[in-house]
């Protein structure tokens, strides 16, 4: 029994390391996108990102044998989730084109708060006073980042908030489809539908890239794809409740990239907002984990 327990703990620790490393790749992908949209349309950059993400998944799932992962009982929901993912990616890239990447991620981290708020009307879940309080306090953190009237490009910040809303809705749909579909099915539909939608749009926004730009475009998709595969692997190894807080590890790579690549650092107001938002999110994870234990 002791050996089994130690093995389980080691598996969880490995999953946590994989999760932390995997989510740290997402800001890298976004930073490349932020760099590319200086010269290329956001539609084209996002299309390349989804295309190479799709190709990576297709290879990882062994070519045509990947077709079995398309079997689903929730096709409309998976398509809707994929559309939300495309919208979230597009508006977030537009947002961080004008604001520091750390500011964008700070606002994006409100999505766990939005999930709690939306789970009541959409999932019929009951949310107690503790989690509602955390949601309200968390949203006050946005005011630290937005600072109305401070001169910050508020439209871009609001676009980041729209991205957070799309991510929250996408995650709620994920909760529903996970009851019947494998997580790889969800990931494959996201990459496939996203690539298809953007392939229809990209001819109207095309500018022929040079080989160096193609390499950067490929890298942004591969980093995102590797990150998603890593998250899937981690989820297969350990409970989501143990891994969810590690999503905030992204802020480390986002801050490092902001400083070393774009010569920006979060100011005191952004750091204060980040602390409030992340603190509220972590408290919500704690309450949900406690509630799950009580039920089991």
With respect to residue 218, please indicate whether it lies within any of the assigned structural domains: yes
With respect to residue 14, please indicate whether it lies within any of the assigned structural domains: no
pLDDT for position 207: 95
With respect to residue 270, please indicate whether it lies within any of the assigned structural domains: yes
Q: Which range is least confidently modeled, 109-113, 124-128, 130-134?
A: 124-128
> Domain total for the chain?
1
Question: Locate tokens 């496939």: which residue?
Answer: 192
Predicted confidence (pLDDT) per residue in 177-224, tens digit: 888 888 889 999 999 999 999 999 999 999 999 999 999 999 999 999
2: pLDDT confidence band, cut at 50, 70 and 90?
very low
Count of CB atoms situated within 10 Å of the CB of 117? 19
Report d(CA 259, CA 135) in Å as an integer.
30
Max avg pLDDT among 115-124, 149-158, 286-295:
115-124
Query: What is the gyration radius of the CA atoms in the chain, in angstroms?
Result: 19
Asked if residue 16 has pLDDT above 90, the reply is: no
With respect to residue 94, please indicate whether it lies within any of the assigned structural domains: yes
With respect to residue 57, please indicate whether it lies within any of the assigned structural domains: yes
The angle subtended at Cα 189 by Cα 230 and Cα 82, nearest 5°, is: 95
Mean pLDDT of the 45-68 span: 87
pTM of the model: 0.90
Locate 180 and state its tokens: 């019947």
Query: Residue 224 belongs to what domain range?
Result: 21-295
Asked if residue 148 has pLDDT above 70, the reply is: no
pLDDT for position 256: 92
Mean pLDDT of the 65-82 span: 89
Contact 220, 32 (CB under 8 A): yes
With respect to residue 12, please indicate whether it lies within any of the assigned structural domains: no
């Amino acid at each position: 029994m002791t050996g089994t327990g130690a093995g389980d703990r080691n598996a969880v620790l490995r999953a946590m390391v994989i999760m932390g490393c995997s989510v740290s790749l997402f800001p890298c992908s976004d930073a490349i996108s932020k760099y590319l949209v200086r010269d290329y349309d956001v539609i084209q950059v996002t299309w390349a990102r989804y295309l190479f993400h799709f190709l990576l998944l297709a290879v990882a799932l062994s070519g045509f044998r990947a077709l079995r992962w398309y079997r689903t009982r929730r096709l409309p929901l998976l398509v809707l989730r994929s559309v939300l993912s495309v919208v979230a990616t597009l508006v977030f890239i537009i947002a961080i084109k004008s604001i520091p990447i750390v500011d964008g991620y700070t606002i994006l981290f409100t999505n766990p708060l939005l999930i709690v708020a939306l789970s009541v009307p959409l999932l019929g879940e009951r949310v107690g006073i503790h989690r509602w309080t955390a949601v309200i306090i968390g949203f006050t953190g946005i005011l630290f980042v937005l600072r109305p009237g401070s001169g910050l490009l508020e439209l871009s910040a609001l676009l980041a908030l729209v991205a957070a809303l799309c991510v929250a809705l996408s995650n709620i749909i994920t909760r529903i489809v996970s009851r019947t579909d494998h997580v790889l099915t969800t990931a494959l539909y996201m990459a496939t539908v996203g690539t298809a939608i953007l392939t229809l749009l990209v001819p109207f926004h095309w500018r022929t890239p040079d080989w160096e730009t193609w390499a950067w475009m490929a890298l942004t998709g591969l980093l995102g794809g590797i990150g998603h595969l890593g998250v899937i692997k981690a989820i297969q190894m350990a409970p989501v409740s143990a891994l969810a807080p590690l999503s905030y590890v992204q802020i480390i790579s986002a801050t490092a990239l902001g400083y070393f690549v774009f010569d920006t650092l979060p100011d005191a107001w952004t750091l204060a907002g980040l602390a409030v938002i992340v603190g509220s999110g972590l408290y919500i994870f704690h309450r949900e984990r406690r509630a799950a234990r009580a039920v089991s």
